[in-house]
Chains A and B, each alone.
Chain A
Amino acid sequence: MVVNLKINGRHYTLDVPPDEILLTTLRNLGFNSVRQGCDTSTCGVCTVHVDGKAVLSCTVLTCRLDGHEVTTLEGVEEAAETIGRFLVEEGVEQCGYCSPGLIMSILYLEKCVPQPTDEQILHYLNGNLCRCSGYEGQLRAIKKYLEVKYGAGSKQAI
């Protein structure tokens, strides 16, 4: 199947089998930030954005993406690096396997709710499992990242 799509701003024309999942396509293209952690659509380590929405790349068929736009961690390197620093500062990076998916979810949270409550953070990140159990640290890191970026208490994005 021939599929035309954009990945991280660049146009690709791909010939893929009809049952190939986006996760496989992306990894074959060298976007190795995208990982597989389960085969039940539950862990979130494969999270990418399609047309700006966070989705599980393990559950999306590539052939459905003709004309669509995909963003992986490689496409948001600067933001990822910044968030990564906050994660490291809070000691959250343990094995690091879940981090790319987590960061893509944090960016989606930020887009939907730039000034979230703790409850909203938990709600948006509920689909990202961390086997090293860094959840408390993740919460601290995300709050600090958003506070620094948007200012504590301010309602407007800067």
Chain B
Amino acid sequence: MLNIQEYVAPNSLEEAYQYLISQKGATLLGGCAYLNLGTRNIPLAIDLSRTGLSYIRENEDTIELGAMTTFGDVEHSAILARYFNNILALSVRDIVGIQLRNLVTVGGTVYSRYGFSDFITALHVLDTQVKLYKQGIFDLEYFLENGSKEPDILEKVIIKKDNRQAVFKAMRNSRGDYAILNLALARIGDKFRIVVGARPGRAALALNTMEYLNNEYAQKRELSPEILKNAGEIIAEELSFGSNGRGSSEYRKELAKVLLRKAIQEVI
């Protein structure tokens, strides 16, 4: 439940930013779904919905997702459907229900760097940058590690267009529940990029696994069942897997092996 003292709906990002730094506790409103969980006292709520950040744009080399773009927009975007095997739409499709996805936003999600996020895992396997209104453009990888140094507004996500094939895999107890583990894999020519999220920690690159697979593939031009098995062992060891109500660390390690194998099989 939100307790809001004052609400403003600025028409520009600069105006929104001035409100944001005007007082402690000033809070940006994305889709409000996460803000709404639990009780929160907000002295000043800043609605971003009139700042023109609801768009999915295709440029010559990039695709841009404005911060107020909803997951519903992502799911139904004809532009996104043409790239990366539609991984972004596929990553959000099991998040609760369409009524929630029509509300939750790209900006609220990415700025918050949720460990459980399916969307962030999928974004991270692409060549993605985030634009913060005041601080400028950062690689998603850097932003996930460091967050924002000061209060800022996530303005947009910028994805480089390339011809990578991408796959998203997740294991859930039931459709609509949080993922116990998620994994995204991209193949860029002969190279693989692998991200694992909901460990339950934040999405991270599986660098050793990537190096192993890239070397093996460069030498042998195929990935045998034995190589896939070895890759599974590496991924289970190199990343930290924690336990929570949805799954133990041991279970997540086993899941990582399975999701990795399935994802690779889809791109080779």
Q: Chain A: residues with CB nearer than 8 A to chain B?
A: 1, 17-19, 39-42, 44, 47, 53-56, 58-61, 63-64, 66, 105, 108, 112, 122-128
Contacts and interface: CB of A to CB of B under 8 A. Distances in A.
Nearest to A50: B102
B1 interface: yes
- Interface class of chain A by DSSP: loop
B177 to A, nearest CB: 9
A39 B1 CA distance: 8
A18 B7 contact: yes
A16 to B, nearest CB: 10
A16 B76 CA distance: 33
B2 A127 contact: no
Contacts of B2: 19, 61
Interface string B1-43: 1111111010000000000000000000101110011000010
Interface stretch (B92-100, B120-128, B214-222, B228-236): B92-100
A18 B5 contact: yes
Contacts of A17: 4
A55 B103 contact: yes
A59 B97 contact: no
A66 B47 CA distance: 12
B108 to A, nearest CB: 12
B249 interface: no
Contacts of B57: none
Interface residues of B, number: 31
Contact of B103 (A19, A56, A124): A56
B75 to A, nearest CB: 10
A147 to B, nearest CB: 22
Nearest to A123: B93
B147 interface: no
Contacts of A56: 33, 99-100, 103
Contacts of A125: 97
A41 B35 CA distance: 11
Nearest to A68: B49
B96 A126 contact: yes
Nearest to A53: B102
A64 B99 contact: no
A47 B4 CA distance: 23
Nearest to B42: A19
A71 to B, nearest CB: 13
Contact of B6 (A18, A55, A126, A127): A18
Contacts of B93: 123
Nearest to A16: B7
B176 A126 contact: yes
A42 B96 contact: yes
A42 B93 CA distance: 15
A63 to B, nearest CB: 5
A112 to B, nearest CB: 8
A1 B7 contact: yes
Given A56-B100, A64-B47, A127-B96, 13 more contacts: A18-B45, A40-B37, A41-B33, A53-B102, A54-B99, A56-B99, A59-B36, A61-B29, A63-B47, A64-B29, A105-B99, A126-B94, A128-B97
Contact of B4 (A19, A40, A53, A66): A19
A19 B6 CA distance: 9
B98 A59 contact: no
A51 to B, nearest CB: 10
A44 B99 contact: yes
B191 interface: no
B97 A127 contact: yes
Contact of A59 (B3, B103, B175): B103
For the complex of A and B, the 6 pairs showing the least CB-CB separation, nearest first, are A127-B97, A18-B7, A19-B4, A18-B4, A54-B99, A56-B99
8 contacts: A41-B33, A41-B37, A61-B47, A64-B29, A105-B99, A126-B94, A126-B96, A127-B96
